[in-house]
Structure 1
Amino acid sequence: MAAQYVSNGSGVSPHRGIVDEDQPKFPWKPGLGLLFGGAGWYWAGQAVNAVLLPAKIGQIDPQGKVAMVAIVSTVTMVISIFAGIIGGALSDMTRTRFGSRTPWIVGGVILGTIALLCFAFTSHVAVVLVSWWVYAAVYNAMLAAGCAWQPDQVAPRWRGTASSLYGVGHQAALQGAQVVAALFVTNIPTGVIISLVIGDVLSLLSVAVCREPSNTDVPREKFTISAALTNFLPPKDGGRDYWLAALARFLWMVPGGIGTYRLYTLTDYMGQSEADAGKWMSFMALLAVIAAVSCGIIAGPIADKFRSIKIPLGVAILTVGLPCWLPFFIPTTVMYTIYVAVSSLGSGVFSSLDQAIMTTVLPNPKNAAKDLAFLNSCGVVGNLCAPLLAGWVIHTFGYAGLFPMGFIVLTLAAICVFFIKKVH
Structure 2
Amino acid sequence: MSTPDQQELTAPAGVGSRSVGRAWFTWFTVVWVAVWMSNQTPVQLLLPLQVNKHSEQWVHGVVVSGAVLGVGGLISLVAGPVAGMLSDRTPTRIGRRRPWAIGGSVVAAAALVVLSRVTDNVAIGLTWTVYSVAFAVAATAFTALIADQLDAQRGAASGVVGGAQGAGLVLGVALVVVLGLSLGVAYLVLAVFLLVAGVAGALALPDPPVAPVRRDVPRGEVRGSRGRDFRTVVLSRAIVSLGNGAPTSLLLFFLLHGIEMPHHDAESILLLTIVVFTVSVIVSSAVGGRISDATGNRRGLVMTGSTLLAVGALLLLLVPTPTAVLVSGLVNGTGYGLFLTVGLAMATDLLPAEADNGRDIAFVNVATNIGAVGGPLLGAGLVAAVGDFRLMYLVAAVLTLGGGLLLLAVRRPERARVV
Q: TM-score with structure 2 length normalisation? A: 0.80
Against the structure 1 CA distance between its residues 325 and 124, is the aligned structure 2 distance closer, same or farther, given a 3 Å change threshold? closer
Query: SS in structure 1 opposite 2:297?
Result: coil
Q: Which residue of 1 aligns with 2:412?
A: 422
Q: Residue 212 of structure 2: which of 218, 224, 230 is its match?
A: 218
- Contact 1:181–1:195 at 8 Å: present in 2 too? no
List per-residue Cα deviations over 1:303-355 (Å, max 9, x = no partner).
21222221111112212223544455555443443233223211222232232
1:406 aligns with 2:396: yes
Q: Which residue of 2 aligns with 1:104?
A: 100
Could you tell me how far apart the structure 1 residues matched to 2:265 and 2:129 are? 35
Against the structure 1 CA distance between its residues 378 and 291, is the aligned structure 2 distance closer, same or farther, given a 3 Å change threshold? closer
1:34 aligns with 2:32: no
Q: Which residue of 1 aligns with 2:228?
A: 240
List per-residue Cα deviations over 1:47-66 (Å, max 9, x = no partner).
4455455566678x566993
Give aligned-pair identity as a percent.
19
1:251 aligns with 2:234: no
- Aligned pairs for 1:298-313 (under 5 A) are 298-313=287-302
Against the structure 1 CA distance between its residues 391 and 168, is the aligned structure 2 distance closer, same or farther, given a 3 Å change threshold? closer
List per-residue Cα deviations over 1:122-156 (Å, max 9, x = no partner).
6788776554433332221121122111111111x
1:207 aligns with 2:196: no
Structure 1 stretch 97-106 or stretch 174-183: which is displaced more? 174-183
- Contact 1:36–1:205 at 8 Å: present in 2 too? no
Could you tell me how far apart the structure 2 residues matched to 1:373 and 1:281 are? 31
Against the structure 1 CA distance between its residues 113 and 333, is the aligned structure 2 distance closer, same or farther, given a 3 Å change threshold? closer
AA aligned to 2:229 is D
Structure 1 stretch 95-104 or stretch 12-21: which is displaced more? 12-21
Q: Residue 362 of structure 1: which of 351, 356, 381 is its match?
A: 351
Q: Residue 158 of structure 1: which of 153, 158, 173 is its match?
A: 153
Structure 1 stretch 78-87 or stretch 206-215: which is displaced more? 206-215
- Contact 1:319–1:345 at 8 Å: present in 2 too? yes
- Contact 2:84–2:141 at 8 Å: present in 1 too? yes
Q: Residue 169 of structure 2: which of 149, 159, 174 is its match?
A: 174
AA aligned to 1:174 is L
AA aligned to 2:201 is S
Cα offset, 1:271, TM superposition: 6.7
- Contact 1:244–1:417 at 8 Å: present in 2 too? yes
AA aligned to 1:251 is I
Against the structure 1 CA distance between its residues 22 and 402, is the aligned structure 2 distance closer, same or farther, given a 3 Å change threshold? same
- Contact 1:95–1:218 at 8 Å: present in 2 too? no
Q: Which residue of 1 aligns with 2:145?
A: 149
Q: Residue 78 of structure 2: which of 79, 82, 86 is its match?
A: 82
1:337 aligns with 2:298: no
Could you tell me how far apart the structure 1 residues matched to 2:247 and 2:89 are? 40
Ranges in structure 1 where 5+ consecutive residues have no aligned partner: 1-6, 223-229
Against the structure 1 CA distance between its residues 241 and 194, is the aligned structure 2 distance closer, same or farther, given a 3 Å change threshold? same
Against the structure 1 CA distance between its residues 266 and 41, is the aligned structure 2 distance closer, same or farther, given a 3 Å change threshold? closer
Could you tell me how far apart the structure 2 residues matched to 1:55 and 1:327 are? 22
Could you tell me how far apart the structure 2 residues matched to 1:397 and 1:58 are? 17
Query: SS in structure 2 opposite 1:363?
Result: coil
Cα offset, 1:289, TM superposition: 1.8
Against the structure 1 CA distance between its residues 268 and 99, is the aligned structure 2 distance closer, same or farther, given a 3 Å change threshold? closer
Q: Which residue of 1 aligns with 2:282?
A: 293
List per-residue Cα deviations over 1:232-289 (Å, max 9, x = no partner).
xxx9987331222122112212223233444565566657566655544333222212
AA aligned to 1:250 is A
AA aligned to 1:301 is R
Cα offset, 1:102, TM superposition: 0.9
- Contact 1:30–1:150 at 8 Å: present in 2 too? no
Cα offset, 1:382, TM superposition: 4.3
Cα offset, 1:74, TM superposition: 2.7
Q: Which residue of 2 aligns with 1:93?
A: 89
AA aligned to 2:212 is V
- Contact 1:360–1:423 at 8 Å: present in 2 too? no
Query: SS in structure 2 opposite 1:21?
Result: coil
- Aligned pairs for 1:9-158 (under 5 A) are 13=8, 16=11, 19-23=14-18, 27-28=21-22, 30-53=24-47, 66=61, 68-120=64-116, 130-155=126-151, 157-158=152-153
AA aligned to 2:145 is W
Q: Which residue of 2 aligns with 1:225?
A: none
Could you tell me how far apart the structure 1 residues matched to 2:380 and 2:122 are? 30
Query: SS in structure 2 opposite 1:211?
Result: coil
Cα offset, 1:391, TM superposition: 5.1
- Which structure's relative contact order is higher, taking Cα pairs within 8 Å and 6+ residues apart? 2
Against the structure 1 CA distance between its residues 307 and 257, is the aligned structure 2 distance closer, same or farther, given a 3 Å change threshold? same
Could you tell me how far apart the structure 1 residues matched to 2:102 and 2:259 are? 48
Query: SS in structure 2 opposite 1:422?
Result: coil
AA aligned to 2:196 is V
Cα offset, 1:77, TM superposition: 1.2
- Contact 1:52–1:185 at 8 Å: present in 2 too? no
Cα offset, 1:100, TM superposition: 1.3
The aligned length equals: 400
AA aligned to 2:292 is A
- Contact 1:390–1:402 at 8 Å: present in 2 too? yes
Against the structure 1 CA distance between its residues 341 and 69, is the aligned structure 2 distance closer, same or farther, given a 3 Å change threshold? closer
- Contact 1:88–1:141 at 8 Å: present in 2 too? yes
- Aligned pairs for 1:391-402 (under 5 A) are 395=385, 399-402=389-392
Q: Residue 192 of structure 2: which of 173, 191, 197 is its match?
A: 197
Could you tell me how far apart the structure 1 residues matched to 2:263 and 2:51 are? 23
